[in-house]
Amino acid sequence: MNTILRNIAEKLDKNNRKVQLIYAFNGTGKTRLSQTFKNFIISQHKGDKENNAALTRHKILYYNAFTEDLFAWDNDKHQEGEHQLIIKPNSFTDWILKDQGQDQNIVRYFQSYTHQRLLPHFNEDFSAITFSLAGDNEQRMDNIKISKGEESNLIWSIFFTLISLVIAERNITDKSERSTNEFDHLRYIFIDDPVSSLDENHLIQLAVDIAQLIKSSESKIKFIITTHNPLFYNVLYNELKLSNGYILRRFEDGEFALEEKKGDSNHCFSYHLYLKDILQQAIREQKIEKYHFTLLRNLYEKTACFLGYQQWSELLPDNKQAYLTRIINFTSHSKLSNEMPPEPSDPEKQIVAFLLNHLLENYNFK
């Protein structure tokens, strides 16, 4: 049944399970769901004499794309040859860094996912971070700018440290013995795709770390985790010994569905078969859009990887390989998307159907 995101948020809130694990493609609406869920939780407490910011941190902690907005590079310093990652004023980082003194734990956690030689340096008032990279023979490169992936790792490390402390505080039964009562009424921790830039080994480590943290929680805090990564989903599902999971779907009319996945269907999460089903449905209903070229390319990439081909384009028909590669690359990665209609032309739609059938008929899909 199709529905709007607020209805899904209400459904998640009514669920009594400690953990709800949701899979969705990038672009489906995971981040919008986290925002909608946050707003729904706040709306339940409108009678409270608190502002929205206070209600947010007292009722729900969430990590999503907006969390990264709390951090930004100082462009003025960059022009002067310095690289500073600014921490915008907020109560969360103040509590972790200033009150709890967790900067070294954040550094250790960050290095476990990046490199032991890459070192963040917090300034005295914890308003900015600089970075250095240790080299051989005790040499060190100071004032470097880290990659976007490394930046995401650092922000996640701060958030993970925060929720670790929160869970530890809530595990103290006697409220008077807690170092803070700010999280006494916390109901949810919502985690949306924590770090997408990790390799498989670190991604597994991340999933295991999150699972262990959740299992250590003895309070009534509930967890909602969304991801587009099937490996991350699988590890979490198995580590937490869940009995079900969910798939978030978005339809052409702008509505959504949250479909339950029970039992063994979660242990072998067949992402490539899910891609195939979506493409077949779009072809069958004659509702092919531009993003289906991205899904088609993704399916070709995963099939090529499984079969040991170096390039996904090697799976294309030999007589049209160069032409079809160019069509798929242009349609799925075009930088002119704002100038292009969202609906493909009829010949483009025929290419999607042709290439999907070619893949299914020639590479032993069952």
> In Å, what is the CA distance from 83 to each residue of 144, 145, 146, 150, 166?
6, 6, 9, 14, 31
CATH number at residue 240: 3.40.50
Q: In the predicted model, what is the mean pLDDT of the chain?
A: 83
Q: Out of 266, 297, 321, pick the residue that ends a domain.
A: 266
Give the torsion through C-alpha atoms of 221, 163, 70, 34, to 10 deg: -30
Q: Out of 266, 298, 315, pick the residue that ends a domain.
A: 266
As for how many domains the chain has, the answer is 2
Q: Which conformational region is residue 327 in: left (phi greater than 0), alpha (psi within -120 to 50 degrees), or beta?
A: alpha
Alpha-carbon span 347 to 366, nearest angstrom: 28
Best CA proximity match to 67, nearest among 160, 129, 142: 160
213 with 340, same domain: the answer is no
Alpha-carbon span 121 to 143, nearest angstrom: 10
Model pLDDT for residues 9-66, shown as the tens digit of each residue: 999 999 999 999 999 887 888 989 999 999 898 888 665 555 555 556 678 998 887 7
Alpha-carbon span 210 to 226, nearest angstrom: 13
Model pLDDT for residues 289-322, shown as the tens digit of each residue: 877 887 888 888 878 876 777 788 888 887 666 6
193 with 283, same domain: the answer is no
Q: Out of 266, 294, 328, pick the residue that ends a domain.
A: 266
Cβ atoms of residues 205 and 1 within 8 Å: no
258 with 279, same domain: the answer is no
342 with 284, same domain: the answer is yes
Higher pLDDT among residues 134 and 49, named by residue:
134
58 with 151, same domain: the answer is yes
Domain span holding position 296: 271-362
